[in-house]
């Protein structure tokens, strides 16, 4: 079958030329692992980080503060020195001795969560009689609720987006720049086979990419995997297809690698920030949530978190799947319409 | 525009027919009404300086570019109706294709083979293009000539009836060029039809049965290399300069008055005469120069080439662009 032959050969060539680029392999496979590992370890420890406080005060006050386990004390000669560090965010607040018996004074940035925490810890340390707890507490140590557990599905989603858009976008821009695309078009090659080969090579890498990253996350970082294979597979597949469509779309007109690359960053940048990769998009104002949920990466990340962390079935993800499917169809249709063959 | 008409319009033994094809890029008319016909089993070379419209012409014939006017029939079919069928039966080498560096010779041939219905014997193709040793070599390790032969191999592997070559040897050294010529000659010897562009006369003279010289998007002359050269009406060209004197002291009339001189051209410090009886002209040239007390320098004669025809027709050299 000539048809299957050409799809197979085109796909083989795609896969080979990718595997023969060591940099590409690094960015697709190694980078997300390194990133997950670094961020995962940074936020892994069971014990809460102590607050770092600058102190410009008497030895007595310094000692009282230093006695608290939740506070690291750094002494300064003058308020100016301490203030300089505070501005850079290296310390969470500055405590000065109160003048003429007044209360000690704390300078801090109330917008920073760490600074607010520091304030509470300082107040606690300075008033012994508040030792009695006024609320009962339960510590959250269960797997699946730590930051790294939140982070990993986001990284996976971001990786599917990056490899789809970069992998396909660059490859298309490159064959066009080399006039290799033009050369293939004077053969009876079917244009659909050309596109299909990109999709198929994406799927080959998708499997490698996802399996490697999930194994790494499960074994090294202890991220839970509560999904059934089908739900997880469907979500990943749809995610890969959406961003393959985006990859073809961003490269459909670009004549140069630079042109394509600018467009890719333009498309990806907002989603890196607003689609809940590193922090939940719920931090943005409520009014924006419906809009953010329409972004394909938001939908993918939400779906991945639901299946991986909560073990939800793919059947309960109607909204996310619809958003992704819609983007997928739209990007392919537009890409096919505007694609520059020559 | 029915295919019935296409059949009638195309002469039985013509494999490529183009009538009055035009291509415009904005204000520029790159191809301005070119007619072309390639008979089966012959080689036609389109010759012209840079920007003459050679690539634009051949790419319209290859179905890459759409002509703004005129019609094209390839193997009795049109691009509008039978693009796929035509593509199965032609082989194309483009002026500037870069293969992907990280692929091997054999992988590229296998890729192109998969596009065609016909199954190729790739080892035979590799022999034909002389890359036996390079079968497993990465494209980026190939020399310019080897890359060009690979490119022609991709155009040949499905056994096409027509081969389109756009400047197949530009940038190659003489030896690499000769190896490309051998591949093309073998294709022709097996009954293949070739349409090529070039700006090398030697190439056209060696490979082509018919030469079409184009300039500024128009055909300025056509014929076999011998016919075109004969059209100059000169047995040879005599070229000389004068010591310490501008050649223009010898007026055109004075030179044309000499028996056997058919044309005079001033070219920088040189005069070029188109002459019929070389020996007699040189003898009278000596007499004229003596009588004017001038001194000849750098006197040369050579048989006319296609280049001379081009210069005679346009006043410019092919390589000037
Ligand atoms: N895509 C294009 N857009 C605008 N102008 C073009 C385009 N392609 C070709 N031209 C112009 O058309 C003219 C003919 O170009 P063409 O490439 O056909 O010349 P050529 O005879 O093949 O030259 P060369 O020997 O340099 O390959 C040139 O002036 C060129 O600048
Ligand atoms: Mg050209």
Q: What is the pLDDT of residue B8?
A: 43
Q: CA-to-CA distance for A4 and B283, rounded, in angstroms?
A: 75
Paired tokens of B133: 């040793």
Residue A86 near residue A93 (C-beta atoms within 8 A):
yes
**pLDDT (tens digit, 9 = 90+) per residue, A305-322?**
999 988 888 888 999 999
Residue A224 near residue A311 (C-beta atoms within 8 A):
no
Q: What is the pLDDT of residue A131?
A: 58
Q: Which residues of A touch B63 (CB under 8 A)?
A: 186
Q: What is the pLDDT of residue B240?
A: 92
**pLDDT (tens digit, 9 = 90+) per residue, B15-38?**
999 999 999 999 999 999 999 999
Q: What is the pLDDT of residue A67?
A: 82
Q: What is the pLDDT of residue A145?
A: 67
Q: How far separated are the first and last CA of chain A, in Å rounded?
A: 27
**pLDDT (tens digit, 9 = 90+) per residue, A19-77?**
898 887 787 778 777 877 787 677 655 566 788 889 888 888 888 888 888 888 888 88
Read off φ and ψ for residue B171, nearest 5 degrees.
85, 0
Cβ–ligand 1 contact at B91 (below 6 Å) = no
Chain A residue closest in CA terms to B151: A183
Rg (CA), chain A: 26
* Domain ranges for chain A: 51-139, 147-338
**pLDDT (tens digit, 9 = 90+) per residue, B180-215?**
999 999 999 999 999 999 988 889 989 999 999 999
> B90 — contact with chain A (CB < 8 Å)?
yes
**Nearest ligand to the C-alpha atom of residue A340:** 1
> Pocket of ligand 1, candidates B21, B24, B28: which has the most ligand atoms within 8 Å of its Cβ, to mutate?
B28
Q: CA-to-CA distance for A218 and B221, rounded, in angstroms?
A: 76
> B27 — contact with chain A (CB < 8 Å)?
no
> Pocket of ligand 1, candidates B32, B48, B55, B213: which has the most ligand atoms within 8 Å of its Cβ, to mutate?
B55
ipTM over 0.90: no
Q: Which residues of A touch B94 (CB under 8 A)?
A: 179, 182-183, 186
DSSP for B19-60? EEEEEEETTEEEEEEEEEEEETT-EEEEE--TTSSHHHHHHH
To the nearest whole percent, how much of chain A has pLDDT over 90?
30
Nearest to B258 by CA among B302, B219, B289, B227: B289
Give the relative orientation of helices A191-216 and A229-250 as an angle to the nearest 10 degrees: 130
Residue B196 near residue B45 (C-beta atoms within 8 A):
yes
If contacts are CB pairs under 8 Å, which of residues 154-213 in chain A contact chain B? 174-175, 178-180, 182-189
Residue showing tokens 């007499």: B287
Confidence bin at A273 (pLDDT 50/70/90): confident
Q: Is the full-model pTM beyond 0.90?
A: no
Q: Residues A187, A173, A271, CA angle at the centre, nearest 5°?
A: 135
> B291 — contact with chain A (CB < 8 Å)?
no
Cβ–ligand 1 contact at B30 (below 6 Å) = yes
Question: Residue B130 has what DSSP assignment?
Answer: T
**pLDDT (tens digit, 9 = 90+) per residue, B78-107?**
999 999 999 999 999 999 888 988 999 999
Q: B233-303 belongs to which homologous superfamily?
A: YebC, transcriptional regulation domain (3.30.70.980)
Q: What is the pLDDT of residue B141?
A: 95
Q: Span B241-259, mean pLDDT?
A: 87
The architecture of the domain spanning B3-223 is 3-Layer(aba) Sandwich (3.40)
pLDDT of A304 above 50: yes
The architecture of the domain spanning A51-139 is 3-Layer(aba) Sandwich (3.40)
Nearest to A251 by CA among A336, A134, A154: A336
* Domain ranges for chain B: 3-223, 233-303
Residue A107 near residue A83 (C-beta atoms within 8 A):
yes
pLDDT of A192 above 80: yes
């Amino acid at each position: 079958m000539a048809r299957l032959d050409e799809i197979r050969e085109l796909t083989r060539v795609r896969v080979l030329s990718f595997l023969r680029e060591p940099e590409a392999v690094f960015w697709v496979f190694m980078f997300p692992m390194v990133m997950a590992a670094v961020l995962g370890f940074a936020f892994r420890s069971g014990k809460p980080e102590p607050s770092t406080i600058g102190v410009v005060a008497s030895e007595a006050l310094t000692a009282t503060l230093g006695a608290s386990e939740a506070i690291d004390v750094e002494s300064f000669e003058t308020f100016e020195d301490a203030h300089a560090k505070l501005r850079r965010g290296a310390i969470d607040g500055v405590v000065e001795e109160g003048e003429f018996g007044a209360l000690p004074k704390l300078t801090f940035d109330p917008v920073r969560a760490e600074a607010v925490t520091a304030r509470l810890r300082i107040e606690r340390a300075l008033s012994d009689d508040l030792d009695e707890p006024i609320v009962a507490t339960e510590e959250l140590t269960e797997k699946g609720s730590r930051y790294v557990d939140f982070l990993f599905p986001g990284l996976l989603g971001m990786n599917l987006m990056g490899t789809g858009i970069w992998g396909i976008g660059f490859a298309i821009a490159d064959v066009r720049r080399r006039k290799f695309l033009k050369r293939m078009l004077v053969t009876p090659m079917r244009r659909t086979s050309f596109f299909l080969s990109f999709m198929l090579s994406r799927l080959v890498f998708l499997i490698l990419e996802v399996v490697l990253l999930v194994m790494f996350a499960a074994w090294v970082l202890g991220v839970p995997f509560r999904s059934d294979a089908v739900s997880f597979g469907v979500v990943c597949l749809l995610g890969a297809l959406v961003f393959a469509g985006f990859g073809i779309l961003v490269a459909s007109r670009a004549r140069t690698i630079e042109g394509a690359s600018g467009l890719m960053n333009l498309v990806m940048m907002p989603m890196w920030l607003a689609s809940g990769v590193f922090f939940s998009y719920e931090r943005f104002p409520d009014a924006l949530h419906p809009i953010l949920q329409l972004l394909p990466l938001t939908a993918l990340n939400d779906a991945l978190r639901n299946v991986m962390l909560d073990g939800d079935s793919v059947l309960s993800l109607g909204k996310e799947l619809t958003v992704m499917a819609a983007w997928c169809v739209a990007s392919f249709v537009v890409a096919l319409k505007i694609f520059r063959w020559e | 525009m029915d295919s019935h008409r296409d059949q009638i319009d195309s002469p039985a033994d013509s494999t490529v027919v183009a009538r009055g094809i035009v291509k415009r890029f904005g204000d520029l008319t790159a191809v301005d009404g070119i007619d072309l016909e390639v008979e089966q089993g012959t080689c036609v070379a389109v010759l012209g300086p840079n920007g003459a419209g050679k690539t634009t012409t051949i790419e319209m014939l290859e179905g890459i570019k759409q002509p703004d006017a005129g019609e094209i029939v390839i193997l009795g079919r049109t691009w509008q109706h039978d693009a796929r069928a035509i593509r199965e039966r032609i082989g194309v080498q483009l002026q500037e294709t870069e293969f992907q560096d990280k692929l091997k010779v054999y992988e590229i041939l296998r890729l192109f083979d998969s596009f065609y219905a016909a199954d190729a014997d790739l080892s035979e193709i590799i022999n034909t293009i002389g890359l036996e040793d390079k079968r497993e070599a990465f494209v980026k390790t190939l020399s310019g000539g080897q890359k060009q032969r690979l490119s022609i191999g991709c155009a040949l592997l499905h056994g096409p009836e027509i081969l389109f070559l756009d400047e197949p040897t530009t940038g190659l050294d003489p030896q690499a060029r000769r190896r490309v010529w051998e591949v093309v000659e073998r294709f022709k010897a097996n009954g293949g039809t070739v349409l090529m562009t070039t700006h090398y006369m030697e190439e056209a003279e060696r490979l082509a049965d018919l030469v079409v010289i184009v300039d500024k998007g128009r055909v300025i002359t056509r014929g076999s290399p011998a016919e075109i050269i004969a059209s100059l009406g000169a047995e040879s060209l005599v070229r000389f300069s004068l010591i310490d004197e501008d050649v223009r002291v010898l007026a055109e009339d004075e030179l044309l008055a000499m028996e056997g001189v058919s044309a005079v051209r001033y070219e920088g410090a040189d005069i070029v005469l188109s002459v019929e009886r070389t020996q007699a002209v040189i003898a009278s040239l000596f007499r004229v120069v003596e009588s004017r007390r001038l001194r000849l320098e750098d006197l040369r004669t050579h048989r006319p080439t296609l280049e001379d025809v081009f210069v005679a027709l346009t006043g410019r050299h092919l390589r000037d662009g």
